[in-house]
Structure 1
């Protein structure tokens, strides 16, 4: 089999697949045609070449007469392995010295240190999964919340790829008929039903647009939500941050202007990661240090994915809040949630005046009252209407996929315009080919070496 593979796949590669640094266990992985033979040269135990795949073997690693470590070797035979090649995984003690000695031992005998993502790249090149699934492997490793893990797992198991292949297969059928018409161009015949093609293109276009819309949620799931807490001094911003984090993260003081720099921390709410940013109180000040903090607050607000505008309802009116927000975010492009604080100190009239306002939640941050309602409101603002966060609907999380879907949508628009204007079959077919190519780039049916290098170099070395 190896003789028919590209030269890069004829090498046997080796890398540390667990994080570097001291630990209980380290795992060194080999993959390639000589993985078993090279391990046999340094492993004192059963001869691995005589053992079946999916077996574990205890023994020692030796450098000549010197025993380097006691290890457990996992053996996987091609094609029943992650890379679809022979794979050996050596579990040794997690000492930097042992790992470096072991890697040196194996490279001196002919193995090559793996490049970033090379094990997964080999799995892709051998057809273990497509490119979208390969990228999901990196997302799964980076997942730091229940929802990001769920989406990455769904994509790694092929949910997104299956939907794309179904779309592409339907377009291929019509593309083939259009190409057939070109072969019989002189006879002026039509094999593809134009009415049916328009209906199909509109349906596919709707699905592509839905996938593009899902990226808003997908980006939130993958990268988290930068949520800036802004408001006047002494509104209770630091108290609210502590209540959201359920810890004393920020200094709370009755003295106005205590917070002069940005304080950031993260928390996961129902699987979505929020990065809360406590800011300096917004006011005119002659204090040089405080004025720098206020300017940083204004800049950070413009970079926010979500704004919590905190209000002391005992000292403000809804109209004043409206004026303050118009000054802070004049274009109103930043999703904003108004949080009225000090509910426990407010009069009934003050409470009623704010409770009737849209996008407003009332809390008593110092006592923790209203925090569950606030968390639910934050989740509702992030998820938006019509976006399914349960995994039943495919969610796009990768910017490269978005670019390909945008190119697909543009090409499909061109096909629809061409059909409506009676454009020649050759031009319509060319636009349809562009749509198919853009979809194919997502799963790797159409790819280049530069694209693969760009994707897999973002992986960790041992994966």
Structure 2
């Protein structure tokens, strides 16, 4: 975390991606941001202009013109960081960008650290820590659902839930603490029955938030989906058909895929990370056997398995055995029957009666792939997300909620055992501490450094 002295600095960084583009935006923030920019800007006197105005002019190093620019002014506290801020739109040449940044540094700015703009916004009270983290999630959102989850958190949806929980608990904590000052008078300011009702209510909410993390993790990071089956079942063909490109090698020779091939597909606003694996079979080929072993490992850690089998080369007994193994694995799976264009109609009917949830496709002919996509989307179960429920997507928040749950359970245990107020107050304070870690009421320099160091430099 930057020092108090560094907090007074004016910082500068490129806010748009590195590389050549039509325009680039250079951002300054700090007490002297407008003053420093004004020293190198030829046009209107920026220090006399209103906030949220844009001005055309040139950036000059002495008499040398570096570029024609547009300068956007944000006067404190009406800016992202709540400090004076300037955004300079230049042409996208990396040479121009470097020249302008070096000129601004020579005139009193310093290069920003990763995430320092957002960190200043948090420290200046623009938003809480959970909202600050959502800024990074929003930047990296690559699907409709991850974008919506990040936007909801940035707007304070998750923080609002946590703040309500914490506020209710703080009231009881203060009453318990007050009782400690009147131990000799045997006065009860906080009803133990009311405290139990509150803690049980808080536990229900915390449990819901904790249980939402599985869905939140899927929304944020995608669904790891393994395509598994015997060699030549059509796994690589299916991957290529889903991707609509020749990503995997397709061959009549069994065992062509020796390792796994992975790519992402957006289905219904959700990212699925499809993994084409080595065929499941006994083999004496050393390299292929390593691939088969890796397939088993991938299946254990997957969120979803597409069990693909060839209708022309698989009997009911083999399917029954494979289904039993997959059920014992405990990972959700979809039975996908491939090569319907070549299969025996009676076998398809028998299979459909035995396993009515089977999806029948022809990967080679790209037939019925929409039905498969709909089926995998059903298994993600986005109903909770689409009804507007708060979803936990951050592992740090999840960890703090798990610790909060344990502390609240300790409060209930204490009430059951009629422990003294000082110990009861300790358990309540611990619950408040973990809830406060989420939104930033409770922070350490190491925690802030760890969070903001993962941001890009211009954010």
- After TM superposition, the score normalised by the length of structure 1 is 0.94
1:139 matched residue in structure 2? 137
Match of 1:352 among 346, 349, 352: 349
Q: 2:240 aligns with which of 235, 239, 242?
A: 242
Structure-1 separation of matches of 2:285 and 2:419:
68
Report the Cα distance in structure 2 between the residues aligned to 1:358 and 1:174, rounded to whole angstroms: 55
Offset from partner CA, 1:209-252 (integer Å, 9 cap, x none): 00001000110111111111111112111121122223333233
- Of 432, 438, 462, the match for 2:434: 438
- How many Å separate the matches in 2 of 1:347 and 1:308? 22
Are the counterparts in 2 of residues 343 and 363 from structure 1 also a CA contact under 8 Å? Answer: yes
Q: 2:161 aligns with which of 155, 163, 186?
A: 163
1:336 maps to 2:338: no
Q: Which residue of 2 aligns with 1:87?
A: 85
Counting only pairs closer than 5 Å after superposition, residues 416-455 of structure 1 correspond to structure 2 as 416-455=412-451
- Ranges in structure 2 where 5+ consecutive residues have no aligned partner: none
Question: Residue 113 of structure 2 aligns with which residue?
Answer: 115
Structure 1, unmatched stretches of 5+, are: none
Which residue does 2:227 correspond to in 1?
229
Q: Structure 1 residue 405 and structure 2 residue 398: aligned?
A: no
Query: What residue is the counterpart of 1:393 in the other structure?
Result: 389
1:322 & 1:207 partners in 2: Cα distance? 41
| Structure 1 residue 117, shift from structure 2 partner | 0.4
The Cα shift of 1:263 comes to 1.9
How far apart are residue 346 of structure 1 and its match? 2.7
Contact 1:151–1:391 (CA under 8 A) maintained in structure 2: no
Q: How do residues 228-377 of structure 1 correspond to structure 2 at under 5 angstroms?
A: 228-324=226-322, 331-355=328-352, 356-357=354-355, 360-377=358-375
Q: Which residue of 2 aligns with 1:130?
A: 128
What does residue 150 of structure 1 align with?
Answer: 148
The answer (yes or no) to whether the contact 1:314–1:350 under 8 Å persists in 2 is no
Contact kept in structure 1, 2:300 and 2:329, CA below 8 Å: no
Alignment partner, residue 376 of structure 2: 378
Moved more, 119-128 or 389-398: 389-398
Q: Provide the C-alpha distance between the structure 2 equivalents of 1:11 and 1:233, rounded to a whole number of angstroms.
A: 62
Distance 1:271 1:162 in 2: 26
Deviation of 1:256 after TM superposition, in Å, equals 2.4
Q: How does 1:19-98 map to 2 (within 5 A)?
A: 19-98=17-96
Distance in 2 separating the partners of 1:263 and 1:127: 45
Conserved in 2, the CA contact under 8 Å of 1:336 and 1:359? no
SS in 1 for 2:384: coil
Residue 326 of structure 1 and its aligned partner are, at CA, apart by: 5.2
1:329-369 deviation per Cα after TM superposition (whole angstroms, max 9, x unaligned): 68513222221112233334322333232753222222233
CA distance in 2: counterparts of 1:319 and 1:187, whole angstroms: 78
Q: How many correspondences in the alignment? A: 456
User: Root-mean-square deviation (CA), in Å?
Assistant: 1.8
Distance 2:346 2:192 in 1: 65
Q: Report if the CA contact (8 A) 2:236-2:249 is conserved.
A: yes
- Three-state SS of the structure 2 residue aligned to 1:338 is strand
CA distance in 2, matches of 1:293, 1:166: 51
Single out whichever of 133-142 and 183-192 deviates more from structure 2: 183-192
Residue deviations 1:35-60, cap 9 Å, x none?
Answer: 01111111111110010110000111
Q: Which residue of 2 aligns with 1:460?
A: 456
Secondary structure of the residue aligned to 1:462 is coil
Q: Which moved more, 1:314-323 or 1:133-142?
A: 314-323
For residues 10-21 of structure 1, the aligned pairs below 5 Å read 10-21=8-19
Point out the more displaced range, 101-110 or 345-354: 345-354
Moved more, 232-241 or 124-133: 232-241
Q: TM-score, normalised by structure 2?
A: 0.95
